[in-house]
Structure 1
Amino acid sequence: MMLRKAAAALLLATCAMPAVARPGAAPAPQSAPATAPRLIVAIAVDQFSADLFSEYRRYYEGGLKRLTADGIVFPRGYQSHAATETCPGHSTILTGSRPSRTGIIANTWFDLKAGREDKAIYCAEDETQPGTSSGAYVASPVHLRVPTLGGRMKAANPATRVVSVAGKDRAAIMMGGPTADQTWWLSPKGYVSYKDVPTPPLIAKVNAVFAQRLAQPSPGFDLPPQCVAKDFPVDIGAGQTVGTGRFAREAGDFRIFRASPEQDALTLALAASVIETMGLGKQAQTDIISIGLSATDYVGHAFGTEGAESCIQIERLDQELGAFFALLDKDGIDYAVVLTADHGGHDLPERHRENAMPMEQRVDEALTPKALTVAVGAKTGLAGRKLIWGDGPMGDLYFDTALTPSQRAAVEAETLRTLRAHPQVQAVFTKAEIAASPSPSGPPESWSLLQEARASFDPERSGDLLLLLKPRITPIVDPTRGYVATHGSPWDTDRRVPILFWRKGLRPFEQPLGVETVDILPTLAALIGLPVPRGEIDGRCLDLIAGEGDSCAGR
C-alpha cells in the first residue's frame, strides 16, 4: 500500500465509523513458531492502567480484542518502581531494567550544581547545551544509562533497523535509545526528531497530512453505547466540568488534537508508513519498531479516567490498533507484538466522591516544596531562603546545597518532623535509608514501599528525601488550571499495567500472577535468539509457550 493510502486508512479511524470487525476463526495455533519473527512491534499506551484494561475488556472488537483473545495476557503487570511517571516507565519497557539501573528516576529531577539558573533536569534533554532550560531544551537520550532492545539487536547485527515513534519525545527516546535509526515524536509542527536531523520525504508527507487535518475543525466523536452511563458532568470548580466531552475542536487547536483519539491515529499512521517505506520485517534479520501512543495519558490528565472522554478514547484505541494490525497482515509481515503501559492512573477525586468514595482528597498545598520551604524556614531561623527543591507535593525533595552542615541537619530534621506529622503522608524516606536497602526481588505485588523506592533510586539523581502520599490522595492542588487527575504514586492504581504478547502461531493463555515490565526485553530477546547477560538487566524471561515447551529455554 502506498504511503498516503496507509496514512489515510488509519486517519479515517478517527472519524465516526463502525467498529473493526474481528476476523473469522483462525486455524488452531501450534505450540510455537519455528523461526524468529521478522519484526517486533512494541507498543506503549501511556496511562493505560490495568484497571482501564479490565474495565473495557468485554467491549474490545479491534486490535485489543486480538491481543486479549488470541494472545498471551498478563493482566497483572507492574511498573514495579515507586516513581510511576512517563519517563521512568518508558525506560523500563525495552531495557529490561528498573529506573535504578536506567538512571531515569522521574520525568524531572534537580541538579543544584547545574551550570545554569534552571536547576530542573528534564529526563530527555541535554542540559549541557547552551541557553537551554528544562522547558526549552534540546531533546536527547544522554541520560539513559543502559541499552534498549533495539540497541542490543543492532550491536549483534548492524543490519537491524530500529525505529521509534511516539506522541511524546520522552516516549520515543526512552524506547528507541541512542542508536535508533529513526526517532520521531509529535509537536505542533508535526513529527520532529533530534536537532539537525533532516526531515526525510516520508516524514514531510505525514506532516502534510497532519497539517491538513489540524487545519480542519473536528465535530468530535459519537458516544459508544458502553459510554452512556459515564456521560455526566463533574464539577471541578470555577464553573468548569469534565465528563461529557466528545473531543470537538476548532481548526488549528493542537491542544485538543493532542488530547484526543486523533493523536494516536496519526502516530499509528506514521508507524505504518515507516514500516512500509523502510520495508521493516522484510529482510533476513529481525527489525524493531516501538510506538508510543500518548493520547490516553493526555485524556486522563485533562478529563480523568472514568468519564465519557476516557471511554471514547479506549474504544477508538481499540479500533485504531485493529486497523494498524490489519495493514501489517495485508502486507504479509511475520511480526510479534507486545503492548503495555508506562504507568497507570487515578481518576479525579471529585468524581470518585460522587461514585461511592467519599474519602478521596486533593493534596494539601502545605506539602508543596514552596510551602514546605516557608514552614521549615520559619522553624529553623532560615526564612527567606529557598531551602527545599522539588517537582511537586510528592516524590524527590532536595535540600539547598549552600546550607552549612548544621543548617542542613536542622532543615532535614524539621522537614521530616513536618512531613511525618501530616495526615496525608504515608512515608518519608531519607536518601541514606533508600541507599542502604538492597535491590528488590520476588513478586512485585509483595514489595514494601521502601523496596519500590529502591527500584527508583539513583545515588546521583535522587533527592535527599522521598515523599510518598497516602493512597487516594491526588497530588494536584487545583484542578481548574489544566490537569484534573494524575499518577506517580507507589500504589497499584499507578503501578499495575497490562502486558500483552501476540504472534501468529502462539497458543493463547492468561497468567494472572504478577510480572514486571522489565521482563519484556528478555522475553522478546529469547523469541529472536538474542543473548542478554543476566547480570545486565533486572527482568526475567517469560515463557510464552502454553503447556509443554519453553520459549526461554537456555536463557
Structure 2
Amino acid sequence: MRLSLSSIALATALAVCSPAFAEEAPAPAPAEAPAAEPASPPKLIVAISVDQFSADLFAQYREHFSKGFARLLTGAVFPSGYQSHAATETCPGHSTLLTGVHPARTGIVANNWYVPGIGRKDKKVYCVEDETNPESTSKNPVVSPDHLKAPTLGDLMKKANPATINAAVSAKDRAAVMMSGHDTDAVYWFQGKGFTTFADRKISRAVVAGNTALQKIVDAGDGALPVPGWCGAVDRAVKVGDFTIGTYRFPLKAGDYAAYGYGPRLDAATGDMAIRMVDELGMGKDAVPDVLSVSFSQTDRVGHAFGTEGVEMCIQLAQLDATLGQLFDALDARGLDYAVVLTADHGGFDAPERLDQEGYPDAKRMSEDLEIGALADAVSQDTGITAPQGKLLYGGGGSGDIYLASGLTDEQRKTVIDALVARLRDNPEVASIYTAEQLEQLPVPHGNPQDWTMIERVRASFDPERSGQVLMMTRRGVVPIVHPGPGYVATHGSPWDYDRRVPIVFWRKGMTGEEQPAPVETVDIAPTLAALVGLKEPEGTWDGRCLDIDGSEADTCAR
C-alpha cells in the first residue's frame, strides 16, 4: 500500500547511550590514526531548493525548527552560502544549483530576457520557453529546457550510467526544469488545478492520483493555518497603500485554486508528489544512484505577497518545516539510503513600509523615472531618436538588463547607450551602470564571493548572447516595485547580500555534522554531490569546488 506524506508519523526519538567510564587509565593513543574509510555512495540524492529562503531567514528561524529543518541542522551547515551573481532571480539561481556553474555559463541571465528582433509581438522570452514554437508566449510558454547551456548533475550521471533516474518536481516550471536539465525521466510542476509536465509527455498514474488528492483538499476548503507561539512578535498589521500586510493566516475558501497556489499548502502537495514519484519510478532501489530535485516555491510567493517579516512568513516556514519532516519520514519508512542538500535560489527583501518602521529609512520603492517607459521617453527626448518600430528600450525596471530596439544604426545605438548611461548615472537610486562591451572584457570571477566587486557580481550572470546592452544596479534598499498591490509588495533581484546570501546544508544518516562559517557558493553543490556518488568529470566542468561535508577525519572529496 502506498504511504502518503500525511500518513507518515514523525520520526521517533533516538535513544542515546552514554558509555560508562573505565576505572583504569586509558591506553595511549596511537601515533597516527588510521585514515577513515569513505562511505559507500548514497542510493538517492535529494536536492532541495527553498525559493527565496535567504540566509537572514535561516538565521532568524533556525532556533524554532523542530522537524525537517531540525534534522538537517545535524548535518553539514554552511550558513554563509552565496548565489554569487547579481541576477538573483528564480531561474538563474536554480540554474546554478546542480550545474555547478554561474549563470554566465548556464546562459540563464534572468527569468525573462528580451529579443527585440524576434518575429512575434511578444519580445520577452521566458527562461524555459521554446519561443520557436508558434503556440508559445512568455506568459503561456511551451516549456523546454533548451535555453540551459550547461548539463546538470542528473544529466552527467545519466551520461555515465543511463540507469540513473533523474526526476524533479516543483510548483514552478522553471525551478523543476533548471534543476533536472535535459535528460530527464520525470519533471512536474503545478499549473491550474494540478501538476503537469512537458507538452510531449503525459502525466503518470501517480501524478493523476496526487492531483486528485490535492483537488479534494481545495474543493473542500479549510480554515486558517495555525500560528506558532513564537510568531507573536511579527504578528502585526503594516499599512501598504490602501491595504495591510502582516496578519494573514491563509484561510482556504472551497474551490479557490488561486489562493491555494499562493500559500503554504502547495509546498505540502509538492512534497507529497515527490514521494509518489519515488515510489512510481523506483528511485533509490538499486546500486545506481538517482537524483530527485524538489523545489519548494511557496516561501517565495509568500515573500512577494506579504514581505519577509510578517506572521505570514512565520506560518510559511513552520508549515515547510513540517512538510520537510514528512518527506524525510516517508523516505525513512521506505528504507532508502539517501543524502540531502538544501539551499535556495536567492534571498529576499522585506516591504519597505515595514523596514521603515523598523529603522531602515533608506529602504524605499523605486521611482517612476526608472521604469522602462519613462527611461525610453527621456532618452528619446535627449537624442531625438525613436525606435523604427515598437519601443526604443526593453527590460529595465529594477536592477537588471536594458535592451535596445532592433533596426537602429550603429551610430544610433552608440548615441542611445551614451544617453541612457548618462541618465542612469545622474539618478540617485542607481548604484552602478555597465555596458555589455565592458562586461565582455572581463573573465567570470572566482574566489570568496563576499569579496567580489559589483562588476564581478554582474559579470557572473552576464551572457553576451542574452544579456542587455546596458545593465543597471539600483542602490541598496531600493525595491523595484513602483506601485505595490495586494499580492505583490516585496521582491528580490538585486546584487546586494540580502538577495545573494543563502544557506547550504548537507545531511546523510550517520554523517558527522559540522558548522562551517566560511563563505561558499551554490556552484559548489554539484561538484560536492558528484564526489559523494563517485562521479568524476574533467577539470573545468564546474565553476565551484567540492566541499568536505563530513566533520570527521573522513574527506568526502577524496574519492
TM class by shorter-chain length?
Answer: over 0.9
Aligned mate of 1:474, from 476, 479, 485: 479
SS at match of 1:144: coil
> Residue 43 of structure 1: SS of its match in structure 2?
strand
Q: Specify the code of the residue in structure 2 equivalent to 1:24.
A: L
1:134 equivalenced with 2:138 (yes/no): yes
Q: Does 1:258 align with 2:261?
A: yes
Q: Deviations over 1:465-485 (max 9, x none)?
A: 111000001010011263100
C-alpha displacement at 1:32, in angstroms?
7.0
Matched-pair contact (CA < 8 Å) for 1:94–1:148: yes
Please tell me the residue identity of whatever aligns with 1:221. L
Flag structure 1 segments of 5+ consecutive residues without an equivalent: 14-19
Q: Which residue of the partner structure matches residue 441 of structure 1? A: 446
Determine the C-alpha separation between the residues in 1 that align with 2:38 and 2:227: 40
Shift of 1:545: 2.2
* Residues 1:249 and 2:273 aligned together: no
1:502 to 485, 497, 507: 507
| Residue in 2 that maps onto 1:45 | 50
Structure 1 residues 111-126: aligned runs within 5 Å: 111-126=115-130
Q: Which of the numbers 4, 11, 14 marks the counterpart of 1:24?
A: 14
Q: Secondary structure at the match of 2:421?
A: helix
Q: Structure 1 residues 135 and 32 mapped into 2: Cα distance closer, same or farther (>3 Å)?
A: farther
Structure 1: which amino acid aligns with 2:373?
K
Letter in 1 for 2:171: G
**Which amino acid is 1:183 matched to?**
V
**1:6 aligned to 4, 17, 21, which one?**
4
Deviations 1:417-437 (A, max 9, x none): 110110000000010111111
2:88 alignment partner in structure 1: 84
Alignment deviations for residues 513-533 of structure 1 (CA, whole Å, 9 cap, x no partner): 100000000000001100122
Give the superposition deviation at 1:359.
1.9
Q: Is the 8 A contact 1:443 1:514 kept in 2?
A: yes
The residue matched to 1:535 in structure 2 has which SS?
coil
CA RMSD of aligned residues (A): 1.7
Match of 1:461, SS state, is: coil
- Of 528, 534, 550 in structure 2, the residue corresponding to residue 529 of structure 1 is 534
Range with greater deviation from structure 2 (511-520 or 249-258): 249-258
Of 311, 315, 321, the residue aligned with 1:308 is: 311
Separation in structure 2 between the aligned mates of residue 22 and residue 367 of structure 1, nearest angstrom: 55
Identity %: 49
Deviation at 1:256, TM superposition (A): 1.6
Equivalent residues of 1:78, 1:516 under 8 A apart:
yes
Q: Which residue of 1 aligns with 2:334?
A: 331
Alignment-derived partner of residue 488 in structure 1: 493
Q: Structure 1 pair 202/547, CA: closer, same or farther in 2 (3 Å)?
A: closer
Normalising by structure 2, report the TM-score: 0.94
Distance apart, 1:7 and its partner CA: 4.4
Residue by residue over 1:44-90, the C-alpha shift from the partner in whole angstroms, topping out at 9 and shown as x without a partner, is 0000000001100110100100111x100000000001000000000
Mapping of residues 151-230 of structure 1, within 5 Å: 151-230=155-234
Residue 548 of structure 1 deviates from its aligned partner by 2.4
Q: How far does residue 136 in structure 1 lie from its aligned partner after superposition?
A: 1.7
Is the deviation greater in 279-288 or in 342-351?
279-288
Question: In the superposition, relative to structure 1, how do residues 539 and 88 fare at CA in structure 2: closer, same or farther (>3 Å)?
Answer: same
Residue 330 of structure 1, CA deviation: 1.6
- CA contact under 8 A between 1:272 and 1:327: conserved in structure 2? yes
Any conservation in 1 of the 2:52–2:299 contact (CA below 8 Å)? yes
What amino acid sits opposite 2:332 in the alignment?
A: D
Q: String of CA shifts for 1:139-179, please: whole Å, max 9, x gaps.
A: 00010011110111111111111110011000000001111
- Aligned partners of 2:497 and 2:363: how far apart in 1? 16
For residues 459 and 148 of structure 1, the distance between their equivalents in structure 2, rounded to whole angstroms, comes to 22
Give the letter for the 1:6 counterpart.
S
Task: Call closer, same or farther: CA 1:79–1:505 in 2, change over 3 Å.
Answer: same
- Using the alignment, how far apart are the partners of 1:295 and 1:267 within structure 2? 10
2: CA distance, partners of 1:268 / 1:131: 31
Match of 1:36 in 2: 41
| C-alpha displacement of 1:544 | 1.5
Q: Distance in 2 between matches of 1:545 and 1:222?
A: 37
Question: Contact 2:306 / 2:487 at 8 angstroms: preserved in 1?
Answer: no
Where does residue 234 of structure 1 map in the other structure? 238
What is aligned with 1:416? 421
Note if 1:275 corresponds to 2:278: yes
In the alignment, structure 2 segments of 5+ residues that lack a partner are: 19-34
Q: Is the 8 A contact 1:92 1:102 kept in 2?
A: yes
- One-letter code aligned to 2:362: M
Q: Counterpart of 1:241 in 2: which secondary structure?
A: strand
Residue correspondences, number: 541
Paired with 1:314 and 1:8, the residues of 2 have a C-alpha distance of: 18
Matching residue of 1:365? 368
> SS at 1:339's partner residue?
strand
Larger Rg: 2
Question: Is 1:7–1:206's contact at 8 Å kept on the other side of the alignment?
Answer: no
Partner Cα distance (1:206, 1:21) in 2: 23
The answer on 1:297 being equivalent to 2:295 is no
Q: Which amino acid aligns with 1:445?
A: Q
Deviates more, 1:269-278 or 1:119-128: 269-278
Distance 1:21 1:34, change over 3 A: closer
Give the whole-Å Cα distance in 1 for the aligned partners of 2:314 and 2:152: 33
Secondary structure, aligned partner of 1:186: strand
Task: Look up the match of 2:23.
Answer: none
